[in-house]
Chain A
Amino acid sequence: MNKYITASLLLLGCIAYIFSSNDTGSSRVFVNLITFAGVYGLAAIGINVHFGWTGLLNFGHAAFMGIGAYTTVLLIPHSLGREGVVISTGLPLPIAIIFGLIASALLGLLLGLPTLRLRGDYLAIVTIAAAEIFRLLVRDFENLTGGVYGIIQFSDSLQVYRPNFVDVISTRYDVSSAQLWVAILTWISIVLVIIILSRLQKSPWGRALRAVREDEDAVRALGKNAVWLKLQSFMLGAAIGGLSGIFLVFNYGTVQASTFVPVLTFYIWAALILGGVGSLGGPALGAIIFWVIIAGTDSISRLLFESPDGQQLAGVRFVIVGLLIMLFMIFRPSGILGKKEELLLDVK
């Protein structure tokens, strides 16, 4: 129970930090942070299904997020590329999202098939390569993806569903109603995904997955198909990643080749390791703390450099991200909420 007290105290500290460090517009900062934390938390839940449940090393989550987001956005009305070609017809958003999730899961199947039979570190190499391939192809095939110019004007498909009370709240607290709506939807999805996952975890399927993580040979001996179980877990986590990617681009309102760079994956890993591998709520908590830390690093940058430019801000952020991943992995691999016995740290 102790760690839940720690977690709640940390969460309260984070919120207090946001409101005390910003005199003006603190609610706006709060909504911005809570949106990004939600998106990253959802993505981290996806990696948690891979790593925490099944022991699969996925370092290419940006590709799963990206393919889900691009598929969805290209299926709804949008404006594409350098010339801004307007495509005004498209599928209704919920159906497009389903296609996006299927696309992410299919990419998971595609990457999983050659590698899941092999030892764990091959999957790490292949997924990191896949994320790089995805970035290069998105950049290179401008006709399809808009390349570096990207895709814009697709947010309306989501914002038409925005209920009235969101606008009421956003005018009262002076925040962007569009972002607030994305934040609400993201956190609703997190709750739904956690509920579904907690049921899955207790189901025979979830037990079989954990058994695969602990001892694959024993699972095989019981007549289960361990590779197929791993593939299912890989596809499920990929689809959750795709959902978070969709929310990420709706939060930005645009999507370009630079949205889903491979480093995005490492942000999410940092959030996951902070919150706790293997726990259900850990990734979401980790994402909130992670974003507060990121906001804090920007003040470190201001101490180090007189007026930090974007490069210095990014540099300090990532130095801290790298340190966090290293230190937590060495000294507290189970994070804030995780259980140590739920961790797989040896190559199978």
Chain B
Amino acid sequence: MIEQLGNGLLLGVIIALGSVALSLLYGVTRIVNFAHGEIIALGAVMTLFFSSSPDSSLLFFDRYSPIGINFFGSIVISIILCGIFGASLEIFLFRPLRKNNFGNIAVLVVTIGLSIFLRHIYLLFASAKPSSFILELQRREDYFGIQLTPRNVQVLVLGFIVMILVGLFLTYTKTGKAMRAVRDSSDLASVSGINSDNIILVTWIFSSMLAGFTGIIQGVINNVRWNMGFLILLLIFAGTVLGGIGTSFGAMFGGFVIGVLVQLSVGLEFMDGHTEAKNALALGLMILILLIRPQGIFGTKDRIS
């Protein structure tokens, strides 16, 4: 079981980052964004597109040749593009819906349509086979009894740093405080002179950039595929529900716990030979949490009924 701990920490960081982005967006806009997974995939797909060399025998883009710029440069470009994408979603789709008093359920169905639409756009532009970033292969080494490649250790540290930065941003900056104010009560926030439209736009950008980053580290750790967002989204939902939907630190914690648990469960005896069932276990756990404590560990009751 301990040999899975390294993988568990990695998955935990991915899901924690994805959960905090989803939960923040939900808290501020009340949108359960089923297209969140597709924004995660967008970060990975674009990084792959920018970083792979044009003559690489990559199967992913069989009709469009990759651009082939520096890997770190392409990460930065992809994250910025994810932010722009999030902003355009808000400006051209969700803001008009909000102004026309669309109900939450109608918006939820729209995000489901958006998710199907985007995911299959990726499928059309890319191939169905998973691909990896152009990075050299590394051997696993021993860190305090946990087996990880040096790159994955870097990703792990980077992921934790980003989580701390997100926490500091939400707690101490003016924008972060305004986001939390709108989340807690948009009426009171606008009375205090906060322009909630601007804050919602900033939240979309912030959440999308964070999602894009999540996708990139997921791509570094595992691989890039067109439907990677949908698969991870369900685990992100599980993490968010565990921590408390609408919370930020709760979602981070819940996501991390779900990631570690899912990966550790692979080592359990009755899971032997049922590798796929580990995700089922996490989703089953989510349903159980909803039965026992629907607001999650850190959530408050007013959000749920």
Residues of A within 8 A of B (CB): 55, 57, 59, 111, 113-115, 117-122, 124-126, 128-130, 132-133, 136-137, 139-141, 263, 266, 269, 273, 311-312, 314-319, 321-327, 329-330, 333, 344-347
Contact = CB atoms under 8 A, between A and B. Distances in A.
Given A136-B280, A322-B120, A118 B305 contact: yes
Contacts of B109: 57, 269, 273, 325, 329
Given A126-B287, A326-B117, A344-B105, A136 B277 contact: yes
A121 B303 CA distance: 11
13 contacts: A55-B105, A57-B108, A114-B287, A121-B104, A122-B304, A125-B32, A129-B237, A266-B112, A322-B113, A325-B113, A330-B97, A330-B110, A346-B104
Contacts of B148: none
Contact of A322 (B118, B274, B277, B291): B118
Given A315-B120, A318-B117, A344-B103, 4 more contacts: A114-B287, A141-B274, A312-B124, A322-B116
Interface of B: 30, 32, 34, 97, 102-106, 108-110, 112-121, 123-124, 127-128, 234, 237-238, 241, 274-277, 279-280, 283-284, 286-288, 290-291, 294, 304-305
A322 to B, nearest CB: 3
B116 A121 contact: no
Contacts of A317: 120
A339 B108 CA distance: 20
B113 A323 contact: yes
Contacts of A133: 279-280, 283-284
A319 B117 contact: yes
A191 B181 CA distance: 53
A314 to B, nearest CB: 7
A247 to B, nearest CB: 24
Contacts of A139: 276
A317 B119 CA distance: 12
A133 B123 CA distance: 24
A269 B237 contact: no
A111 B124 CA distance: 35
Contacts of A347: 30, 103-105
A329 B277 CA distance: 34
Contacts of B288: 114
B112 to A, nearest CB: 6
Contacts of A117: 294, 305
Nearest to A141: B274
